[in-house]
Amino acid sequence: SYELTQPPSVSVSPGQTARITCSADALPKRFASWYQQKPGQAPVLVIYKDSERPSGIPERFSGSSSGTTVTLTISGVQAEDEADYYCQSADSSGTYVFGTGTKVTVL
Amino acid sequence: QVHLVQSGAEVKKPGSSVKVSCKASGGTFNNFTINWVRQAPGQGLEWMGGIIPIFTTTNYAQKFQGRVSIIADESTGTASMELSSLRSDDTAVYFCAGERTYFYGSGSYYRGGWFDPWGQGTLVTVSS
């Protein structure tokens, strides 16, 4: 089955840059999306189509893609960015998969 | 802007079934595929399946094939997910999520692949 692997945790100081990777175990890879989830809340879409940002999402959130790896970058991290982040994509049959999730801690 | 509102928490016995509903407010879900995602306590997100309401076309994760059924009623703007043969490890928060879908002629469509908006989540507890 298609798998998306993320680092379990990322720690960053306020104002610094956090980068979260999401690696697919096979090609081809469809576009990826990223979600932010805070405790007790539903996920929120922060990036779609690898690098597009929905309206209302701060510019400090950006996405990029290279080969089978996509990356979510949070520039100038703020305390409110502390959350779990999940990537998501699909395999060639249209089955959707979420990444393993990354806990971002703001020191 | 479409919002998705889910039904309330459920407590079920092992072996029984649960049905969770998801209603669109502030618009219709005619431009969306409605997906279901679950999250066990302390765990990650898991996609279960989805339905394109205007075609009633469904696709399911292999893990849930035969145990999950997703339906939609365009007239009421409501989608539902029913999971049968419940086990304790089905205890989770179940979310519905809209996926922007683009329709062309002759029944053709393209699913955008991203999930927005999300429902608020429904806790299903399976316990004897």
DSSP per-residue string spanning B44-62? -EEEEEEEETTTTEEEE-G
A43 near B CB under 8 A: yes
Whether the per-residue pLDDT at A78 is higher than 90: the answer is: yes
Tell if the CB–CB gap between B120 and A45 is shorter than 8 Å: no
Rounded average pLDDT over B75-86 = 95
pLDDT value of residue A67: 87
Per-residue pLDDT band at B75 (split at 50, 70, 90): confident
Residue A1 has pLDDT above 80, yes or no: no
pLDDT of residue B38: 98
User: Closest approach of chain B CAs to the CA of A86, in angstroms?
Assistant: 8
Q: Per-residue pLDDT averaged across B62-72, rounded?
A: 96
Residue A94: per-residue pLDDT: 80
Identify which of A30, A44, A100 has the shortest CB distance to residue B44: A100
Provide the pLDDT for residue B29: 83
Mean pLDDT across the stretch A67-78? Answer: 95
Category of B77 on φ-ψ map: left (φ > 0), alpha (ψ -120 to 50) or beta? left
Chain B contact set for A42 (CB, 8 A): 95, 118-121
Give pLDDT, residue A27. Answer: 59
A contact residues 46-105, partner B, Cβ 8 Å cutoff: 48-49, 54, 86, 88-90, 94-101
Q: Based on DSSP, count helices (H) and strands (E) in chain A, helices before strands.
A: 0, 10
Residue contacts between A and B (CB atoms, under 8 Å): 63
Rounded-to-integer distance, Cα A4 and Cα A12, Å: 23
Tell me: the pLDDT tens digits for A42-67? 999 999 999 999 999 999 999 999 98
The pLDDT of residue A104 is: 98
Q: What is the pLDDT of residues B83-119, one digit of tens each?
A: 999 999 999 999 999 999 999 988 889 999 999 999 9
Look at residue A28 in the predicted model and tell me its pLDDT: 59
- Which pair of tokens denotes residue B74? 């365009």
* Closest chain A C-alpha to B26 CA, distance in angstroms: 18
